[in-house]
Chains A and B, each alone.
Chain A
Amino acid sequence: MSRIGLFITCVNDALYPSTPKAVVAVLERLGYEVDFPAAQTCCGQMHANSGYRRDAGVLARSFEAVFDSYDAVVTPSGSCAAMVRDQYPDLTGSDIGRRVYELSEFLLDVAEVEDVGARFPHSVTYHPTCHGTRALGLGDKPLRLLRAVEDIELVELPEADQCCGFGGTFALKNSEVSSAMLADKCRHASGTGAEYLAAADNSCLTHIGGGISRSGGPRPVHYAEILASDA
Chain B
Amino acid sequence: MSANAGTVPEVVPSSSLIPAGAKFPKAAKVALGMPQMRANLAHATGTIREKRAKVAGELDDWEQLRDAASAIKADVQHRMPELAIEFERKATEAGATVHWARDGVEANAIAARITREAGADEVVKVKSMATQEIELNEFFEAQGLRAWETDLAELIVQLAEDKPSHILVPAIHYNRTEIRDIFRGKMIDAPTGLTDDPAALAEAARLHLRKRFLSAKVAVSGANFAVAETGSLVVVESEGNGRMCLTMPETLISIVGIEKLLPTFTDLEVFMQLLPRSSTGERMNPYTSIWTGATDGDGPKDVHIILLDNGRTDVLADEVGRQALSCIRCSACLNVCPVYERTGGHAYGHVYPGPIGAILAPQLEPGRHDDLPYASSLCGACYEVCPVKINIPEVLVHLRQEGPHQAGEKAAMGAAKAVMARPKLWRAALGAARFFTRPWRNKGYMRRLPWPGSKWTVSRDMPMPPQESFRDWWKERER
Give me the interface of A with B, judged by CB distance under 8 Å.
8, 10, 12-17, 20-21, 36, 38-42, 44, 46-53, 55, 58-59, 62, 87, 130-131, 134-135, 161-163, 165-183, 206-207, 209-211, 213-214
Contact = CB atoms under 8 A, between A and B. Distances in A.
A49 B427 CA distance: 24
A213 B403 contact: no
Interface stretch (B193-201, B202-210, B225-233, B415-423): B415-423
Contacts of B459: 175, 178-179, 182-183, 210-211, 214
A15 B465 contact: yes
A13 B455 contact: no
Contact of A59 (B410, B420, B470): B420
A87 B381 CA distance: 18
Given A21-B470, A48-B397, A38 B423 contact: yes
A166 to B, nearest CB: 7
Nearest to A202: B463
Contacts of A211: 459-460
Contact of B400 (A50, A178, A214): A50
A177 B28 contact: yes
A174 B375 contact: yes
B381 A161 contact: yes
A35 to B, nearest CB: 10
Contacts of B367: none
B455 A171 contact: yes
Contacts of B456: 171-172, 175, 210
Interface residues of B, number: 59
Contacts of A135: 380, 393
B467 to A, nearest CB: 9
Contacts of B32: 176-177, 180
Interface in B5-31: 24-25, 28-29
B353 to A, nearest CB: 13
A177 B413 contact: no
A177 B342 contact: yes
A130 B382 CA distance: 11
27 contacts: A10-B420, A13-B470, A15-B466, A17-B466, A17-B468, A21-B473, A38-B427, A38-B471, A41-B421, A49-B400, A50-B409, A130-B377, A134-B383, A165-B338, A170-B377, A173-B455, A174-B24, A174-B374, A176-B32, A177-B25, A177-B28, A177-B32, A178-B377, A180-B32, A181-B339, A182-B460, A211-B460
A39 B459 CA distance: 34
B70 interface: no
B421 A59 contact: yes
A61 B445 CA distance: 34
Contacts of B471: 13, 38
Given A59-B420, A180-B32, A131 B473 contact: no
B461 interface: yes
Contacts of B402: 51
Given A41-B421, A51-B401, A62-B421, A175 B468 contact: no
Contacts of B468: 17
Contacts of A14: 430, 433, 465
Contact of B376 (A51, A52, A167, A175): A167
A40 B423 contact: yes
Contacts of A13: 426, 430, 469-471
A106 B286 CA distance: 49
Given A17-B469, A46-B416, A130-B379, A206 B401 contact: no
Given A17-B470, A41-B423, A178-B377, A55 B417 contact: yes
B462 A165 contact: no
Interface of B: 24-25, 28-29, 32, 338-339, 342-343, 373-381, 383-384, 393, 397, 400-403, 405, 409-410, 413-414, 416-417, 420-421, 423, 426-427, 430, 433, 445, 452, 455-456, 458-466, 468-471, 473-474
A74 to B, nearest CB: 14
Contact of B25 (A38, A55, A173): A173
A52 B417 CA distance: 10
A177 B354 CA distance: 13
A-B pairs with the 6 shortest C-beta distances?
Answer: A167-B377, A210-B460, A51-B400, A163-B379, A179-B459, A134-B380
Contacts of A171: 455-456, 460
B460 A214 contact: yes
A159 B325 CA distance: 31
Given A41-B426, A182-B460, A58 B421 contact: yes
B463 A210 contact: yes
B473 A165 contact: no
Contacts of A134: 379-381, 383-384
Contacts of B339: 174, 177, 181
A213 B440 CA distance: 15
Nearest to B384: A134
A211 B458 CA distance: 10
B461 A213 contact: yes
Given A174-B374, A176-B25, A36 B460 contact: no
A50 B381 contact: no
Contacts of B397: 48-49, 51, 87
B463 A173 contact: no
Nearest to A8: B470
A100 B427 CA distance: 23
Nearest to B405: A51
Contact of B378 (A20, A39, A167, A209): A167
A168 B420 CA distance: 17
Nearest to A179: B459
Nearest to A133: B380
A161 to B, nearest CB: 7
A12 B473 CA distance: 13
A130 B392 CA distance: 14
Q: Which of B338, B339, B452, B458 has the most CB of A within 10 A?
A: B338
A20 B469 CA distance: 10
Contacts of B29: 176
A219 to B, nearest CB: 12
Contacts of A175: 25, 455-456, 458-459
